[in-house]
Structure 1
């Protein structure tokens, strides 16, 4: 891992945030523009200016001209046109103005743009308000993730210490997970040379790797401690832990990897990169859990319980003393309560999940822009000024492009048809490329980037307006706004296919592990319910604005396009993790007792503590994303935290025992195999447990 880290962090690939490309109409328009209008391509910044006394006030004008001169003098910017030179850049009342600053260096990064943003913010005062917008300005203003991961590790340490009661036992899962994440992130950067991914992949990958890495090590360490308590020697306990919990970890990790690779079905280049990168991290954490962790256990031995938390110990059985009846745990007693009224419990739990999932039906997808940034950001100030002076659609331009046979091609009828369309504020005259083989013009909607009306307008232009306009049949609608709409449409159409593929493959793996078709079907349905509930909570918080500001979302906004398609495979895989650990233990108890009710109660009792601890760690790790600055990552972290909480409580503690009680021996149905009958010893054990 150390060797991979040195190579990966030293020679890894840079992030790729270009979501364009593919067969979408906006992608074809962008390709046409890059081919025939290369001089117009490249990143730009937009300076927005607002002066209540007017920009022609001598003192205000002096400040504006100075900031424009300073921006133009930067080594990464091109020539800047002053609003005093072009009346189209100023509103009629002369209070608001704008100008575009081209970035001459196409490789300019956010570190080079940040001084420009700070300079503009520092130039604002009571007489004039300035804001610098644009994609690179947004990136430059977004602070690093900061201490969010550290908070997650600290929370995990506290939970592990409470669960294990030992600093040594607490430290093993954390050390294993951290080393695995370092190696996984480095390997991910190397893989990026072949399959590039966007910059949020590192944050998301670290968050997922930390959660599953600690959980996988937690399951193995718990089984190791149980074996020691049963009288095994350290080496035998390690073997027992790896052949039981370790086997389950391999199945669970493989399920998560396969679920993540289901993103490839989406057919989007960068999401394929996200799928491969996060799969690599999960794969490394899984391997570390069954190789590095056993090596650590070899050093620790009986010292696994060293540096213990002071707690009252229960009285143990001594040879020669009268045997005492072991107390039933809280989880086992709870399972008995659910099993006495299984139909009522299943109906209530299902109703709660469906109620939580209901908002999902109104989910809208988009990409974050300046309008959803924190209110103190320069990019938001720029958006607010431009929306006030030039309309909310100024930040959501639609760029039209088409091929023509000569420089005399007349596209004015198309421009007129677009201009007269309801929802269009204005359109620019058509411009012909230097080679005479392409024409482009821009139209500005009356609604903003995130408004549903803007998406409807794009569809109406493509489906009705352009086909009916003379010469409009071959005109393409592109630009960042149209690209976002195309990405959302493509995601919505392909998401069901990805869900079907992930469910099918995961069910095959679960059937192979627990040897039951019924349990695999139960797991698939329950996982869909918990993920649907998480989707519903995301919509209520992010899109409807319920508790949004409290949780760090500045305003109501559509759900980020990649969040639901990234959440599903991760959550389905993690839910399968808990299902694997629970049903594997239930299966062991069933084979020992031959009674489903007893097996479920005992299996739940033996796994409740570790699953609760694992879910608490996942919840803590995912919720720490709310401390970070990235709006989209916050959405994903919130959704996954809610899903893990629901899965570990409503699903595992209510639905699973209730549904398994209702199914009875059908739980163990497998085509071509007869359900095994319990042995006399197993029957006696079952009757004793019931008493």
Structure 2
């Protein structure tokens, strides 16, 4: 078992002896310690200069080396699932010329066949051509209702940098709009979306990254009341994130990374890194104020909070590893990034943090803030609540469960969908343009792509198949013009694009895709000799992604829940504690799902959060929230239950151990939760619905977990179960025994400096 060492020949049963370490003055001590966390702490305290310098060299070294080797980014061929993934791979390998960024301008009038709309379209065409940065403007396409005209063109040059050149075109279109206030004229497309949405999102993510650190520091200043103590967790968390990002460059050789992985790493790394340091520092300070000398306070913190950090970190890593089973490039990248940042945060908490605490001693409380610095960390408010809970544990458990059940109830109606236009801020100009194009020209903004690979996709037979395809597609009423064809230089692969009904992510689009895949494409293009036909595009990719998630989610859930149960069972030698931990965390996740449905699917707080309700939650959100929340919730559970078990191992009755454990951890749990809630809530300010869902889901779940679950439901359940909390079947008696109590007082030996 990781963290256990062979027992020593002496001392109490199950205890361990560490090498002598220097104590205060000229004292050497031998501590009864066990576990990897305590042994790391003792080594770091003895070699604190080496530990601190070694950490800095590690952080700087991996950062410099990662800059030299670079990070491998996932390419277009790395994404995709199912039929759409295979079709994308065919396109990528077919040697098509690089497609320039496509743009569209819609001119819409309140009346049918408005001459003013046609005149405005002509003005738009002239204005766009005058910018000199676009290709030819296509012939105007009239909508079926006769109220709108659509113009299409491309931004010349590299599509990756087209957003830097599209500005003059946007200005030209806006100028025509000002001249025709009675009409709606809007532009949308690849380049304009990258510029208007991508820049806003990047700006928001950068702002979030910059705000998260001062917000975290502010909460820690309130929690500790001392500047030095507040700075330590932030510095260690930030350096852990920096080191993990450096390590990601090497890991990306095995699993290519996606752009958003680093932002997820900052989110998770800041949360767990600050939490781990917070737990460790607060316990060391509590022991010091209780009268322990500097050495013993550090050893007690390592033996208790350090051990909790090790176990909770391992549990978080297990949860994140569940994402590997999706076999999706984005999830695999998230899994690698989060595992690296959590492992690095654990390493820093167990090595350099004890060295810093040993070096600082009581100076960790320097620069005290008047009115905030407190010598005791017990929560008076939570103590009062806990007394009520333990007075009526059954009623408290029933009320807490009912509240969580009420919050989770909407999750029964949870539906998922791919990301689409409706996920953008409804007040954004480009969102209005996309909606206008989608309304007037269904499927025009994101057409389906039918990929045909055959010995030859040129000549009369292919042309006849395309004509038949067009006729049958339009006859369904679910597939729409324009129908366009693009053939690769070798004449072996063709891409036939056709519009789909709906928004691209709603049920109408799914029905149109089903008709295309099930009937139209196989009966026409699929009849070509030796042809392979596959459908891709936004709607098809979303459908295949959902199908892949549906197949992998049972495996992910089983893996995470099973290994979490085993870790808790081994850590606490109790089946009941392990089951309780898993069930409570599932309640927290279920409540988060319910709140997401209530807000984003039912449309509450739309104006406050600046979003528009949709038919479902973003398809990747449920699984991602599950692994993140399950892992982070274990931080609190392991920390609180470890403190309760510590009291029980000292001989306290279970109810008294619960009281002591909850009250003594209330302050640090509140502070840790406040950090997470504040950082996660910042994501709700970003301009895309999926990031808002992420922020609301994470923040609300952590808030519930730190209040209703840890302060009410957990103590109520443990009080009701009493000694049954620690039940372990006889046939599991072979499990290793991991002591939870603080180490026994040191055996002191006065030695001379030369001995």
Same fold (TM over 0.5): yes
| Pair 1:284-2:344 in alignment | yes
1:401 aligns with 2:454: no
Residue 430 of structure 1 and its aligned partner are, at CA, apart by: 6.7
Structure 2 counterpart of 1:345: 396
The reply to whether residue 222 of structure 1 matches residue 310 of structure 2 is no
Alignment deviations for residues 625-649 of structure 1 (CA, whole Å, 9 cap, x no partner): 1233344222212111111011111
Q: In 2, Cα distance between the equivalents of 1:521 and 1:108?
A: 53
Structure 2 counterpart of 1:105, from 158, 162, 167: 158
Are 2:644 and 1:586 aligned? yes
- Quote the offset at 1:56 in angstroms: 7.4
Q: 3-state DSSP class of the match of 2:150?
A: strand
Q: CA deviation at 1:524?
A: 0.7
Answer yes or no: is the 8 Å Cα contact 2:451–2:535 preserved in 1. Answer: yes
Distance 2:77 2:648 in 1: 50
Kindly state the Cα deviation for residue 225 of structure 1 after the two structures are TM-superposed. 0.3
Q: 1-side partners of 2:118 and 2:100: how far apart?
A: 31
For the Cα contact (< 8 Å) 1:50–1:385, is it kept in 2? no
Aligned residue in 2 for 1:182: 242
**Aligned-partner SS, 1:442:** strand
- Kept in 2, the 8 Å contact 1:32–1:402? The answer is no
Q: Which 10-residue stretch deviates more, 16-25 or 613-622?
A: 16-25
Aligned to 2:102: 45
**Which residue of 2 is the match for residue 309 of structure 1?**
369
Give the conservation status (yes or no) of the 8 Å contact 2:487–2:493: yes
* C-alpha separation in 2, matches of 1:294 and 1:16: 38
* Mapping 1:634-673, distance limit 5 Å: 634-672=692-730
Match of 2:601 among 522, 526, 543: 543
Which of 386, 399, 412 is equivalent to 1:335?
Answer: 386
Deviation at 1:102, TM superposition (A): 5.3
Q: Which range is displaced more, 129-138 or 525-534?
A: 129-138
Q: CA deviation at 1:417?
A: 3.6
Mapped to 2, the partners of 1:68 and 1:492 lie a distance apart of 48
Residue 128 of structure 2 is matched in structure 1 by 67
Deviation at 1:602, TM superposition (A): 1.4
Q: Does 1:126 align with 2:187?
A: no
Cα offset for 1:569?
A: 1.2
Residue 488 of structure 1: CA displacement? 2.2
Q: Secondary structure at the match of 2:151?
A: strand
TM-score by length of 1: 0.86
Moved more, 635-644 or 26-35: 26-35
Match of 1:447 in 2: 502
Cα distance, 1:245 vs. partner?
0.8
Q: Equivalent residues in 2 for 1:174-573 (5 A)?
A: 174-311=234-371, 329-375=380-426, 377-391=428-442, 393-404=443-454, 406=456, 407=459, 408-409=461-462, 410-411=464-465, 412-426=467-481, 428=483, 435=490, 437-463=492-518, 471=526, 475-556=533-614, 558-573=616-631
Give the Cα–Cα distance (whole angstroms) in 2 for the partners of residues 427 and 188 of structure 1.
44
Task: Count how many residue pairs are aligned between Structure 1 and Structure 2.
Answer: 657
Note the alpha carbon deviations across 1:432-455, whole angstroms, 9 max, x for none.
Answer: 766554454333222111322212
Map Cα deviations across residues 95-152 of structure 1 (whole Å, 9 max, x no partner). Answer: 5222131554254375555665566556642327654423443232232224323333
**Cα contact 1:395–1:448 (8 A) shared by 2:** no
C-alpha displacement of 1:351: 2.2
Cα distance in 1 for partners of 2:247, 2:99 equals 31
Counterpart in the other structure of 2:230: 170
TM-score norm. by structure 2 comes to 0.79
Q: Does 1:96 align with 2:149?
A: yes
1:582–1:403: structure 2 CA closer, same or farther, 3 Å change rule? same
Which residue in 1 is equivalent to 2:37? none
Determine if contact 1:149/1:621 at 8 Å carries over to the other structure: no
Per the alignment, do residues 38 and 432 of structure 1 end up closer, same or farther by CA in structure 2, a change over 3 Å counting? Answer: closer
Alpha-carbon RMSD across the aligned residues, in angstroms, is 3.4
Q: 1:31 to 1:168 in 2, by over 3 A?
A: closer
Moved more, 442-451 or 464-473: 464-473
Match of 1:81 in 2: 136
Name the CA shift for 1:140/1:364 in 2 (closer, same or farther; >3 Å): farther
Task: Indicate how the Cα distance of structure 1 residues 299 and 283 shifts in structure 2: closer, same or farther if over 3 A, else same.
Answer: same
| Inter-CA distance 58–328: structure 2 relative to 1 (3 Å threshold) | closer
Could you tell me how far 1:36 is from its partner in structure 2?
A: 4.7
Contact conserved, 1:660 with 1:667, CA < 8 A, in 2?
yes
Cα contact 1:255–1:506 (8 A) shared by 2: yes
Distance 2:474 2:230 in 1: 66
Residues 370 and 379 in structure 1, CA contact (< 8 A), matched pair in contact too: no
User: SS where residue 670 of structure 2 aligns?
Assistant: helix
Query: How many Å separate the matches in 1 of 2:355 and 2:172?
Result: 54
Report the Cα offset of residue 592 of structure 1: 1.4
Q: Is the 8 A contact 1:427 1:441 kept in 2?
A: no
The Cα shift of 1:229 comes to 0.8
CA contact (8 A) 1:43 1:135 kept: no
User: 2:12: which partner in 1?
Assistant: none
